[in-house]
Amino acid sequence: MKSRYRVVIIGGGVVGASIAYHLTKLGWTDIAILERSVLTAGSSWHAAGGIHTLNADPNISALQAYTIDLLSEIEAESGINIGLHMTGGIMMACDPDRWDWLKGSYRVMQSMGIDDSRLVTPEEIKELCPLVNTTDLLGGMTSQREGYVDPSGVVHAYARAAKKRGADIIEHNRVQSLNQLPSLEWQVETEKGTILAEHVVNAGGLWAKQLGRMVGVELPVTPMEHHYLVTEAIPEIAALPKEMPTIVDLDGFSYMRQEQHGMLLGIYEINHKHWQMDGAPWDYGIELIQEDTDRIMDELALAFHRYPVLETAGVKRWVNGAFTFSPDGNPLVGPVRGLRNYWVACGVMAGFLQGGGVGKSLAEWMVEGQAQADVFGMDIARYGEFASNREYIRQTTGQFYSRRFIMTYPNEHLPAGRALSVPGAYEGMTAAGAHWGANWGLEMPLYFAPEGFEEKPSLRRSNAFDIIAAEAKAVREKAGLLDISGFSRYEVSGPGAEAWLDRIFACHLPKAGRARLAPMLGHDGKLRGDLTLLNWGGGRYWIMGSYYLREWHMRWFEDNRADGVALRDISDHVSGFSLAGPRSREILQKLTHQDVAALPLLGCTSMDVGLLRCHVARLSITGELGYEINCNVAQHATLRRILLDAGREHGLAEVGFSAGNSLRLEKSYGVWSREFTQGYTPGATGLDRFIAWNKRDFIGAEAARCERDGAPTRQVLVTLEIDAGDADASGYEPIWHDGKMVGFVTSGGFGHTIGKSLALAMVDREASAEGTVLSTHIVGEERRALVIPASPYDPAGAAMRA
């Protein structure tokens, strides 16, 4: 062991070993893995080792596919047999909605470039795996690149390949403390002495919680128990001509694969159980938890129905081991805000499936400054301080585990961790019929319904369709009031504010009393935000954006901070409402002595609104005349009351974000995480029209100019009119032209004003011309899709400029 390394990785499981491998592959060889026991001790050694391609986040599906492709390469490079059994896999469904979901998932996988899957009938499932009882099945999806590995072999293969390139593997050496020195180096105190490191990676698995606390970070992860059993040899399996495919029985809460001549059966039980929520004891190693068969009896009964051979099979061993879970089940990866060169890679529940992608992405992030793929779905910054609460972690991780194989509908809003934060007018809006969704811990209104209304979960248009249509109509014809507590707000001031903002944003800065749509780029020229910049005068600016990106954007702002800049996240202190529609000016004018008509489009000013002093900007996400009225959070309920009172005679209606989504699609307005992501460029998304090309310097300027001056981007954003039935596009559905896949849907829904199903999509340029007839698959059904001009409602923008 040396006294100094460039990188110290804490944890010798599959994730830590993969990170070491990928760092050495990128040329960083002065690294060490510190393992408190031996490689694989913790969760890795007892994992079932299954590999499959499907994930709810298509970007993570792509990283899983990368991991699967990498495994044979790792085996060859290391010389270690990883026990790779590429048996193929089947995911089955017996519920009609689940079957619809699988058909849609098959198309989503196509849109992500995963082309080795196909849908199969119950008869084909029986042919592929004769042991399955198919009497109640509707169908399934089979994938060739699925199977299982020897967990220990994979970890040692990653580690040996890294060691060949210069990495040190130091076992039996627990980390006792971490301290960052004034030099910003990390002092790593271990049982075998002190190490200085430029970078520290927390890949601690079951011990990630304690390693986070060493530096004052409360990570939203917790271990949970998970069962699987391995049977004695089963004659029917021994007699099969080839190895069985791995099988996931979604409606039976189980997964299955062959284990020699027996069967390995894993259970995701409804009655979940946490284990050591504060992290595993330091002396816990290659151990198991006593099985609790009573707790999984219902799921076992379903498995016995699905695989009748289990009724006479003996159980060779039970495995009840602990795995760490995050609130949404995806990994926690990336740099921790405020701690320079402290990185996390934990909560990787499916380590042998996701470990390769996690290692690749984190290594790229460390070496090159950014991962090549859009990894927000596993970025630690998708959570804020609210997620460190123990009860929040208990509720959300338990909910995820119990619903691991339960389908969540697009219009379903789950109860765990609710209502954590609420807008000031929450009680009043609830009394008015608000139905709520959660946004980064904050409740946000989806729509307002009559008393007693319950929305039914559905893959198709729900029974809230007409309610949302009425709200959209109110905005277009009269006026709508939308709570905008769920917008992020950052205040920037100080003598260096203007110069800093000019470098951070690719646009010109707005003059005093004006606002501007402001694209923000990374150093690679790809998008980092589609924000709104407001100049209130006197050297004070606001940046407004997506509420759930608060931690992510603050990390970026702080990483690029300059002297003389005061930056403050004021999202918890400022709230407000959007007042939009043709009568919105009249309503606002009733509440102020100031001339509302004098405020131009994209103007902003301080304004007396009733008894309140508000910050008002003439902006609208609906494409109508509109105003964003910002107030102190303590005044939110008051602002709602006076606006509703003033708007009553003008037909003002409260509306939610479901109507807002319909209205913005009719204007072809993109939103972050759909049309705009860190994986896209300005040229592909159309945000290049907001770039100030004559600016001397801004972050990402060189890369953006290379894109502008080079060959046109392969794909561009277009608006589609869908010949839909009773379902609309939602996102990631593939787009076809003459039998060739040419893109995918970024978001979709129904345009209630124009009465058409709409979608925004990223498509190849040769298929992007207006009038081009394309097709897509919605809930698995092929539908005609026509490229139409952007902004199908009011393309000239007359309503907004009124």
The per-residue pLDDT for 116 is: 85
End-to-end Cα, the chain, rounded Å: 71
Residues 525 and 476 both lie in one domain: no
The per-residue pLDDT for 553 is: 98
pLDDT exceeds 80 at position 494: yes
Token digits of residue 293: 């068969």
Q: Where are the beta strands (DSSP E) in 385-451?
A: 434-439, 442-448
> pLDDT tens for residues 621-665?
999 999 999 999 999 999 999 999 999 999 999 999 999 999 999
pLDDT exceeds 80 at position 125: yes
| Size of the chain in residues | 802
DSSP secondary structure of 173-191: --EEEEEE-TTS-EEEEET
Cβ-contact 735, 745 below 8 angstroms: yes
Q: What is the mean pLDDT of the chain?
A: 96
Distance between CA atoms of residues 492 and 494, nearest Å = 7
* Of 54, 67, 68, residue with least CA distance to 109: 54
Question: HSE of 176 in the Cβ direction (CA atoms, 13 Å)?
Answer: 9
Lowest mean pLDDT among 48-57, 335-344, 676-685: 48-57
Residue 391, judged by CB atoms within 10 A of its CB (0-12, 13-18, 19+), counts as exposed
Strands 652-654 and 715-722, sheet pairing: unpaired
> pLDDT tens for residues 416-460?
999 999 999 999 999 999 999 999 999 999 999 999 999 999 999
Q: State mean pLDDT over 304-311.
A: 96
- Judged by DSSP in three states, 536 sits in strand
CATH number (domain holding residue 766):
2.40.30.110
* Of 574, 553, 562, 572, residue with least CA distance to 493: 562
- 410 in any annotated domain: no
Residues 105 and 236 both lie in one domain: yes
- 394 in any annotated domain: no
What own/partner pairs with CB < 8 Å and gap ≥ 24 does 406-415 have?
406/253, 407/95, 407/97, 407/98, 407/101, 407/250, 409/97, 409/457, 409/458, 409/459, 410/459, 410/730, 411/455, 411/457, 411/458, 411/462, 411/464, 412/457, 413/437, 413/438, 413/446
- 402 in any annotated domain: no
Residues 524 and 613 both lie in one domain: no
> pLDDT tens for residues 713-767?
999 999 999 999 999 999 999 999 999 999 999 999 999 999 999 999 999 999 9
Q: State mean pLDDT over 488-517.
A: 98
Residue 309, judged by CB atoms within 10 A of its CB (0-12, 13-18, 19+), counts as middle
Domain count, the chain: 4
Residue 239, C-beta contacts closer than 8 angstroms, at least 6 positions apart:
none
The per-residue pLDDT for 429 is: 98
Residue 465, C-beta contacts closer than 8 angstroms, at least 6 positions apart:
750
Residues 440 and 518 both lie in one domain: no
Token digits of residue 551: 């931690």
Cβ-contact 475, 468 below 8 angstroms: no
- 412 in any annotated domain: no
> pLDDT tens for residues 226-243?
999 999 999 999 999 999
Residue 573 CB neighbours (<10 A)? 12
- 262 in any annotated domain: yes
pLDDT band for 149, please (50, 70, 90 cuts).
Answer: very high
Residues 98 and 176 both lie in one domain: yes
> pLDDT tens for residues 572-600?
999 999 999 999 999 999 999 999 999 99
pLDDT band for 112, please (50, 70, 90 cuts).
Answer: confident
- 694 in any annotated domain: yes
- 385 in any annotated domain: no
Radius of gyration of the chain (CA): 27
Looking at the chain, the whole-number percentage of residues with pLDDT higher than 90 is 93
Residues 587 and 722 both lie in one domain: no
pLDDT exceeds 90 at position 54: no
Task: Taking the CA atoms of 276, 278, 282 and 286 in sequence, report the sign of the dihedral they define.
Answer: positive
Residues 707 and 718 both lie in one domain: no
Residue 58, C-beta contacts closer than 8 angstroms, at least 6 positions apart:
108, 109, 111, 112, 732
CATH number (domain holding residue 642):
3.30.1360.120
* Of 101, 108, 21, residue with least CA distance to 731: 108
Lowest mean pLDDT among 167-176, 345-354, 704-713: 345-354
The per-residue pLDDT for 760 is: 98
DSSP secondary structure of 663-703: HHHHTT---BTTTB-TTS-HHHHTGGGG--TT-S--TTHHH
Opening angle at CA 330, ends 324 and 333, nearest 5: 85
pLDDT band for 51, please (50, 70, 90 cuts).
Answer: confident
Residues 707 and 725 both lie in one domain: no
Token digits of residue 591: 């509440």
CATH number (domain holding residue 687):
3.30.70.1400
Residue 693, judged by CB atoms within 10 A of its CB (0-12, 13-18, 19+), counts as exposed
Residues 160 and 266 both lie in one domain: yes
Token digits of residue 560: 């690029």
pLDDT exceeds 70 at position 56: no
The per-residue pLDDT for 109 is: 84
Residues 685 and 663 both lie in one domain: no
pLDDT exceeds 70 at position 327: yes
* Of 273, 270, 257, residue with least CA distance to 301: 270
The per-residue pLDDT for 477 is: 98
Cis upstream peptide for 419 (omega within 30°): yes
DSSP secondary structure of 161-172: HHHHTT-EEE-S
Strands 193-202 and 4-10, sheet pairing: parallel
Buried b (16+ CB within 10 A) or exposed e, 722-757: bebeebbbbbbbbbbbeeebbbbbbbbbbbbbbebb
Per residue, the 3-state secondary structure of 290-325, as one string, reads CCCHHHHHHHHHHHHHHCHHHHHCCEEEEEEEEEEE
pLDDT exceeds 70 at position 201: yes
pTM of the model: 0.95
Distance between CA atoms of residues 656 and 239, nearest Å = 59
Helix (H), strand (E) at residue 25:
helix 14-25
Task: Taking the CA atoms of 327, 328, 332 and 334 in sequence, report the sign of the dihedral they define.
Answer: negative
Residues 469 and 497 both lie in one domain: no
Q: How far is CA 616 from CA 536, 574, 581, 594, in A?
A: 10, 12, 16, 12
Q: Domain range holding 615?
A: 418-454+463-483+576-626+638-673
Q: State mean pLDDT over 197-205.
A: 98
φ, ψ at 92 (rounded to 5°): -115, 155
Residues 305 and 449 both lie in one domain: no
Residue 196, judged by CB atoms within 10 A of its CB (0-12, 13-18, 19+), counts as middle
Helix (H), strand (E) at residue 354:
helix 351-368
CATH number (domain holding residue 291):
3.50.50.60
Distance between CA atoms of residues 9 and 92, nearest Å = 39
Residue 369, C-beta contacts closer than 8 angstroms, at least 6 positions apart:
523, 524
- 65 in any annotated domain: yes
